[in-house]
Amino acid sequence: MCIGFPGKVISIDENNIAVIDISGTRREVCLDLIDEDVTTGDYVISHAGYAIHRIDEELAREKLNLLKEIIANEIY
Q: How confident is the model at residue 75 (pLDDT cuts 50, 70, 90)?
A: low
Q: What is the pLDDT of residue 1?
A: 56
Residue type, 68: K
- Whole-number pLDDT of residue 46: 93
Domain count, the chain: 1
Which amino acid, one-letter code, is at 22?
I
Question: The CATH number of the domain where 17 resides is what?
Answer: 2.30.30.140
> Distance between CA 21 and CA 9 in Å, rounded?
7
Residue 9 has pLDDT above 70, yes or no: yes
For the chain, the average pLDDT equals 91
Name the pLDDT band for 76 (thresholds 50, 70, 90).
low
**pTM of the predicted protein model:** 0.85
* Structural domain of 26: 5-73
Nearest Cα neighbor of 27 from 7, 55, 52, 53 is 7
What's the pLDDT at 56?
A: 94
